[in-house]
A and B are shown apart, each in its own frame.
Chain A
Amino acid sequence: MSGPVLVAIAALFTTSCLVRIVPTFISLRIDPPTQRYLERLLPAAVFINFAVYIAYSEMVREPLPALLSLAMVGAAAFLNRLGLIGTAVLGTTLYFVLVHIIG
Chain B
Amino acid sequence: MAIAVVPVSMLFGVLAVRADWSLLEVVAISLLGFSGSGQFALLPLAESGAGFFTMLLVTASINSRYLPIAYASAKRLPAAAGKRACLAHMLGDEAYATEHERDSGASLGWIRITIFIAWALAGLLGALLGRVIPTAWLGAEVNLGYPASVVLMYLSAAQLRARLWHNGQRRAPVLAAAGMSAGLALLLIQWLGPVYFWIPSVLLATGILGRAWP
Contact = CB atoms under 8 A, between A and B. Distances in A.
Interface residues of B, number: 85
A46 B189 contact: no
Main secondary structure of the interface of A (DSSP, over half): helix
Given A84-B151, A87-B154, A24 B198 contact: no
B117 interface: no
Nearest to B39: A12
B10 to A, nearest CB: 16
Contacts of B161: 77-78, 80
Contacts, number: 239
A1 interface: yes
Interface string B1-44: 10010000000000000001110110011001111001100100
Interface string A1-15: 110110111111111
A98 to B, nearest CB: 11
A16 B154 contact: no
Categorize the interface residue count of chain A.
Answer: 35 or more
A68 interface: no
Main secondary structure of the interface of B (DSSP, over half): helix
A24 B205 CA distance: 23
Nearest to B86: A21
B56 interface: yes
Contact of B71 (A5, A23, A47): A23
A54 B149 contact: yes
B181 A4 contact: no
Interface in A27-68: 37-58, 61-62
Contacts of A46: 65, 68-69, 72, 202
B158 interface: yes
Contacts of A38: 68, 71-72
Contacts of A78: 157-158, 160-161, 165
Most chain B Cβ neighbours within 10 Å, of A15, A21, A54: A15
A88 B157 contact: no
Interface of A: 1-2, 4-5, 7-21, 23-26, 37-58, 61-62, 69-70, 73-78, 80, 84, 87-88, 91-92, 95-96, 99
15 contacts: A1-B28, A8-B29, A11-B52, A12-B32, A12-B38, A24-B84, A24-B85, A42-B202, A43-B159, A44-B164, A52-B201, A53-B198, A57-B149, A69-B150, A96-B146
